[in-house]
Amino acid sequence: MNASRKKRLQASGWAVGTTGDFLNLSEQESAYIEIKLRLATLLSKRRRSLGITQVAMAKKLGSSQSRVAKMEAGDPSVTIDLLVKSLIAMGERSLFAGR
Q: Looking at the domain covering 18-90, what would its CATH class be?
A: mainly alpha
Residue pLDDT, tens place only, 41-75: 999 999 999 999 999 999 999 999 999 999 999 99
Four-point Cα dihedral 87, 89, 90, 96, nearest 10: 50
Phi and psi at residue 69, to the nearest 5°: -60, -40
pLDDT band at 87 (very low <50, low <70, confident <90, very high): very high
Q: For residues 85 and 40, give the distance between their C-alpha atoms in angstroms, rounded to a whole number.
A: 12
pTM over 0.75: yes
